[in-house]
Each structure stands twice: as structure tokens, then as C-alpha cells.
Amino acid sequence: MSIFSNEALAHKHILITGATGGIGYETAKIAASMGAKITATGRNEEKLQKLKEELLQLTDEKNLFFMPADLADSKSREELVAAAEEKLGFINGLVNSAGVGGGNVVE
């Protein structure tokens, strides 16, 4: 199986930060369409809900976990990982697309 095959992410648990926009949002959709289990996080709960609605078109709800989190806070990061692994099992991959720039939060 090639790493680029549609089965490459099947049943793998991928945690995606910054999933409420841009690269993280689109990556979540592609990974879900490839059969991955998705943990999606971002600070904006409304945008996470919108992503959830889109991902439910691609996969079953049992393969999805959404948790708002501020990754600048270490306790929030720890809680996110613990909750994600409790819900979907061992995390096989991380897409870190959360970020800040110029002192302001980037959405």
C-alpha cells in the first residue's frame, strides 16, 4: 500500500490543531474521507461545529471527536490529548496547523 493510497489513513487516529480554518480545516476533510479517525481542535466552537457538520457527510460520528482548546495553555493541551485518546484511542499522527502571528491570534 502506497502512503498516497486512499487506505493510507484508514483507522488511524489523527489529531488536527487549528482545525477551525485554513490548512487544518481542509486536512480534516481529506483525512476523514480517507477513513481516518479525527480529533479536531481550535478555539472557535462555532467553526468546530461547522467542521463537524461537514465531516459527518464523510464519516460516522464514532470516528470524530471535537474539543475546543487554547493550545497556548499547557493544561489545555494535556486535557485535549487525554480526552482524544480516551475517545478514539492512541493518536497515530499530528497535524499542527494552529498558530499565532504578530502578537495576535490567527484564525
Confidence of residue 102 (pLDDT cuts 50, 70, 90): low
Distance separating alpha carbons of residues 86 and 107, to the nearest angstrom: 27
The pLDDT score that the predictor gives to residue 99 is 75
| Sole residue written with cell 481516518 | 36
- Number of residues assigned to the chain: 107
| Average pLDDT of the residues in 49-54 | 98
Q: What is the model's pTM?
A: 0.88
Distance separating alpha carbons of residues 61 and 38, to the nearest angstrom: 10
Name which residue leads in pLDDT, 103 or 69. Answer: 69
The pLDDT score that the predictor gives to residue 6 is 80
User: Taking 60 as the threshold, does the pLDDT of residue 23 lie above it?
Assistant: yes
Grid cell digits, residue 89: 484511542
Segment 57-82, tens digit of pLDDT: 999 999 999 999 989 899 999 999 99
Q: What region does 11 belong to: left with phi over 0, alpha with psi -120 to 50, or beta?
A: left
Output b/e per residue, 65-90; b: 16+ Cβ within 10 A. bbbbbebeeeeeeeebeeebeeebee
| Sole residue written with cell 497515530 | 92
Distance separating alpha carbons of residues 63 and 13, to the nearest angstrom: 9
Confidence of residue 101 (pLDDT cuts 50, 70, 90): low
